[in-house]
Amino acid sequence: MAELIFVLLSVAALFTLAMNRASLRVWALGVALFTLALQIGLGSGHPHVPVFNFWALLGWLFAGGLFALTFPRIKRDYVVLPAYRALKGVMPAISDTEREALEAGTVGWDAELFSGTPDWARLRRVNPIMLSAEERAFLDGPTEELCRKLNDWLIRHELHDVPGDIWRLVCDRGFLGMLISKEHGGLGFTAQAQSLVLGKISSRSPDGVTIVMVPNSLGPGELIEKYGTEMQKAYYLPRLARGEEIPCFALTGPFSGSDAASMRDVGVVTKGWHEGEETLGIKLTWEKRYITLAPNATLLGLAFRLFDPDNLLGRGDDVGITLALIPTNHPGVEIGRRHLPCGAAFPNGPTSGTNVFVPIDWIIGGKERAGQGWRMLMNCLAAGRSISLPATSAAAAKSLLRNTTAYVRIRKQFNLPIGYMEGVEEPLARMVENAYGLEAARAVTASMVSAGEKPAVISALLKYMSTDRMRQCVNDALDIHGGRGICDGPSNYIQGAYQMVPVGITVEGANILTRTLITFAQGALRSHPYLFTEIEALQNPDQDLGVPTLERAFDGHVAYSLSNIFAALFHNLTLGAFASAPPSAGAARRWWKQLARASRSFALVSDATVALLGSGLKVRQKITGRMADALAELYLLSCILKRYEDDGCPRGDLKFVNYCAKNCLSRFDGALAGTLDNFPLAWVGVLMRPLVFPYGFARRPALDKDGKSIVRAALQPGEVRDRLTRDIFITDDPKDPVGLLEHTLLKVIATEEADKKLERAIRRGEVHRYYGNDWIAEAEKKGVITAEEAAALAEVRDLTARVIAVDHFEAAALARKQSAPQTMPGAFNPPRDSIAAE
């Protein structure tokens, strides 16, 4: 018994010291006491005079070693310097553009998740959705009006363009100036308001939202607002806000896509003639492609690398990436041709120019900002990427859910609404989960940006996660609708989203790159409490400066790693029972605890990953991709718990929280298990597995019965379904394809009992459902249903026929016009460098 108590106390002491990040001195004391206790036989229950044996010698040596390390000189000579030399070539090198990307934006809740001990108060401080009266009125007024006017089929098929009246409305009502401050004639809306406006428009027309989205993100209103000279602000911002200027922003070129900083577009500082005067300026040569709004733009924001061979700016030859504003009617600007991105109709096309002279004060921010373009872009990207694509992805998830839940109650096969079939229930449950989770992540992140954060890592993970889940939602909706979703036409309400999915996946950092290269590597560097300092120390060419910096980080890092090892093991052994949860967490308390437990496991594995992979981090992308997924699941779960609280913990929503939380944690465990199973140093994976999965298995996803429960709730019109699909465009106008769904759904539900009577009579052979026979009238005549029920069922029958109808066309209406091709295949439009090579 005494032995057992001794062992338990020793283990408890070990865990306590490690989890509380005890100092070296305390560790040395702890080891000394333990050794002494062994020597006097405390553990046996029969204390005796100290005996000195091999184990005692080992214990005292260890305690002495730890104590010696508390002397800075010894620690430096025997630990820090050897570590410095060993790690110097192993840690990832950081290039200038990477450094600028790393220094741009802010670190917030992501750092808490990386820490393993998230401070709940920090998440709770993020405001719930709050709109000013003016913002609410804009959402309910002009946004609603725009949505009613948008005709998705007309835009994406018939005109293959956004019509003039939509452009006019968008410009006149100030949609293009939501982010421009009031002072400069814009609406000055918060990120939350912008996100809700964009989401609502996109639920009506993905092409329609694009013309609003671009001017309200990078291009280039935000850049002018943040970095422009007073003259640029005074001239351009009011014109942009009123829609007198249509902007676009050109970064991507044929040879510089994901690696945008490698652009070949150049500007050379020189003197030239502008409006009859000799002026200091830049001779620009560029070739850009995929530029949204370029064909309609009047103002081109251009990124290029600036050189100053004559040192006219006094900053040396290679000034760096620079951004300029160029009116598209400026001589030499080639712009106007269009790409055809996935058949979508929003304007998108290439632009180029050769030796185009522009005055130096066309640089955004003037010549003082020459060379700062990359930093400016990264700063704006961190905020912009948190708004647009999460908003449109969440809106797609919500509107697809709303339409699909109506359709599956209306559409019957095998005499049953297809929504009650388990096979359909499965993708529907996924749609419910995605709609709940994406809205949570959208709202929480937009609130962070409203509060002034520019979350660089969160925006990256949210971008790839939200667009990927939007793709899942569209595919699920299509599978569920069958042929009704596939055949295009004015009544098809899925195709628009389907066509736009690849665009969302590709823009603002293509998903594969964002997931595997950006999210985890950047997150680890920015959020790890010590890593960035250590890398900076190792990169410092002056060893005398590098070593003391490394030394300062070293102690903390060792304590941090030890605490992760022991805390992860402790919380995984106790299944999170003792993990922290915020006060008054209510019914969702267990998920907060599981989040804290998972965060500890994540901290442990990510620490080992960055420490052991070092510079290999950039190439071990299957590992970093999984770690990004793990972080994304933690973030998503945080937002789900926050949303539940912000919404006032509605009882009806707890089932959604439970469902989402189980799946988040199961996917999280899967991502960590995948990392450990495939860890490049196999022994590390083997050693860490018992710490993360001491019982050998990962958490399981939500059960089928949980899926049934959330789907049944979503199928029922009312408060819960409305909350699941909030802030999208909703109509019950039967002349509108989605309005027809809403309209019919209520009537289908109202006639369910009468329908059952009718179906039973048909099965008995009493009533005959064939073309040419009015079976409802027959049922009424035979007393199966009343006259009132017959009238209601007849109306539902006619409405249902309209809901399930697909469009068809005269063959001639679909035939392509036979004319000489205006657009040559890409091989016949070679990029500039190929021309030069010829």
Ligand X SMILES: Cc1cc2nc3c(=O)[nH]c(=O)nc-3n(C[C@H](O)[C@H](O)[C@H](O)COP(=O)(O)OP(=O)(O)OC[C@H]3O[C@@H](n4cnc5c(N)ncnc54)[C@H](O)[C@@H]3O)c2cc1C
Q: Which of 410, 432, 478, 507 binds ligand X (CB under 6 A)?
A: 507
Pairing relationship of beta strands 247-250 and 299-307 according to DSSP bridges = parallel
User: Which residues make Cβ contacts (< 8 Å) with residue 488, sequence separation at least 6?
Assistant: 157, 495, 807
Q: State the virtual CA torsion across 494, 203, 642, 465 in degrees, nearest 10.
A: 50
- Within the chain, what is the greatest distance between any pair of CA atoms? 107
Binding to ligand X by residue 251, rule CB under 6 A? yes
Residue 450 in contact with ligand X, rule: CB under 6 A: no
Q: How many residues of this chain interact with ligand X, rule: CB under 6 A?
A: 20
What is the rounded CA–CA span in Å between residue 597 and residue 124? 18
Tell the smallest beta-carbon distance from residue 2 to ligand X (Å).
59
Does 337 interact with ligand X (rule: CB under 6 A)? no
Please report whether residue 432 would count as binding ligand X according to CB under 6 A: no
What are the C-alpha distances in Å from 680 to residues 79, 513, 608, 609? 26, 20, 12, 10
Tell which one of 177, 295, 341, 384 touches ligand X (CB under 6 A).
Answer: 341
Q: Which one of 10, 70, 181, 258 is in contact with ligand X (CB under 6 A)?
A: 258
Residue 512, interface with ligand X (CB under 6 A)?
A: yes
Q: How far apart are CA 362 and CA 499, in angstroms?
A: 37
506 sits near ligand X (criterion: CB under 6 A): yes
CB nearer to ligand X: give 211 or 559: 211
Least spacing, CB of residue 138 vs ligand X, in Å: 25
- Residues 554/531, Cβ–Cβ less than 8 Å: no
Residue 135 is among the residues annotated as catalytic for this protein: no
Q: Which stretch binds ligand X (CB under 6 A): 40-48, 245-253, 385-393, 679-687?
A: 245-253
Paired tokens of 91: 């840690």
Tallying the residues shown for the chain, one arrives at: 838
**Smallest separation (angstroms) from ligand X to the CB of 227:** 17
Binding mask 347-366 for ligand X (x = CB under 6 A): -x------------------
Stretch 798-837 residues interacting with ligand X (CB under 6 A): none
Q: Residue 619 CB, nearest distance to ligand X (Å)?
A: 9
Q: Is 209 within 8 Å of 503 (Cβ atoms)? A: no
Short-list 75, 72, 392, CA closest to 214: 392
| Residue 250 in the binding site for ligand X (CB under 6 A) | yes
| 510 makes contact with ligand X (CB under 6 A) | yes
Tally Cβ neighbours within 10 Å of residue 716. 14
Nearer to ligand X, 98 or 119 (CB): 98
CB closer to ligand X, 589 vs 618: 618
Cβ–Cβ under 8 Å, residues 221 and 247? yes
Token pair belonging to 87: 């790690």
In angstroms, what is the minimal distance from the CB of 301 to ligand X? 9
Judged by CB under 6 A, the residue of 151, 202, 292, 731 near ligand X is 292
Q: What are phi and psi of 308, to 5 degrees?
A: -135, 75
Task: With beta carbons less than 8 A apart as the criterion, state whether 511 and 460 touch.
Answer: no
List 356's β-bridge partners, or say none: 284
- Min CB(508)–ligand X separation in Å: 6
Which lies closer to ligand X via its Cβ, residue 18 or residue 376? 376
* Binding of ligand X by 27 (CB under 6 A): no
Closest distance of CB 256 from ligand X, Å:
8
Nearer to ligand X, 36 or 513 (CB): 513
- Judged by beta carbon, residue 427 or residue 523, the one nearer ligand X is 523
Stretch that binds ligand X, among 176-184, 499-507, 593-601, 696-704 (CB under 6 A): 499-507
Q: Which among 187-195, 226-234, 289-297, 421-429 is the span making contact with ligand X, rule CB under 6 A?
A: 289-297
Q: Which of 445, 516, 522, 606 binds ligand X (CB under 6 A)?
A: 516
Of these, 39, 192, 252, 322, which contacts ligand X (CB under 6 A)?
Answer: 252
Select 190 or 514, whichever has its Cβ closest to ligand X. Answer: 514
Helix and strand element counts for the chain (H, E)? 38, 9
**The one among 494, 501, 517, 623 contacting ligand X by CB under 6 A:** 517
Name the 3-class secondary structure at 304.
strand
Task: By CB under 6 A, tell whether 379 contacts ligand X.
Answer: no
How far is it, in rounded angstroms, from Cα 602 to Cα 408?
Answer: 40
Interface mask toward ligand X for 582-621; x: CB under 6 A: ---------------------------------------x
Give 614-629 as a 3 state SS string: HHHHHCCHHHHHHHHH
CA 788 to chain centroid: 51
Q: Which of 100, 425, 439, 508 is catalytic?
A: 508
**Residue 117 is a binding residue for ligand X (CB under 6 A):** no
Whole-number CA gyration radius for the chain: 31
Residue 224: HSE in the Cβ half-sphere, 13 Å Cα cutoff:
35
Part in contact with ligand X (CB under 6 A); list of ranges 154-162, 243-251, 489-497, 642-650: 243-251
Query: Closer CB to ligand X, residue 59 or residue 208?
Result: 208
Give CA–CA dist 368/390, Å, rounded: 34
CB nearer ligand X, residue 464 or residue 656: 464
Decide: 622 and 679 in contact? Cβ < 8 Å: no
Is residue 290 within the footprint of ligand X (CB under 6 A)?
yes
- CB nearer to ligand X: give 253 or 546: 253
Which residue, 524 or 702, has its beta carbon nearer to ligand X? 524
DSSP structural state of residue 699: P
Measured between alpha carbons, how far apart are the two ends of the chain, in Å? 88
CA distance 769 to 767: 7
State in angstroms the smallest separation of the CB of 498 from ligand X: 15
Residue 270 as a binder of ligand X (CB under 6 A): the answer is: no
Measured distance CA(72)–CA(65) in Å, rounded:
13
Measured from the CB atom, the residue of 31 and 306 that comes closer to ligand X is 306
Q: Which residue is nearest to ligand X (CB)?
A: 257
Per 3-state DSSP, the chain is made up of helix, strand and coil in percentages (nearest 5) of: 65, 10, 30
Question: Which residues in 127-188 belong to E strands, given as ranges?
Answer: none
Calpha distance 371→305 (Å, rounded): 8
Beta carbons within 10 angstroms of residue 1's beta carbon:
6
State the minimum distance, in angstroms, from the CB of residue 671 to ligand X: 18
Query: Considering only residues 29, 313, 513, 612, which one is a binding residue for ligand X as defined by CB under 6 A?
Result: 513
Binding site for ligand X (CB under 6 A): 249-252, 257-258, 290-292, 341, 348, 503, 506-507, 510, 512-513, 516-517, 621
Q: Which of the residues are catalytic? A: 508
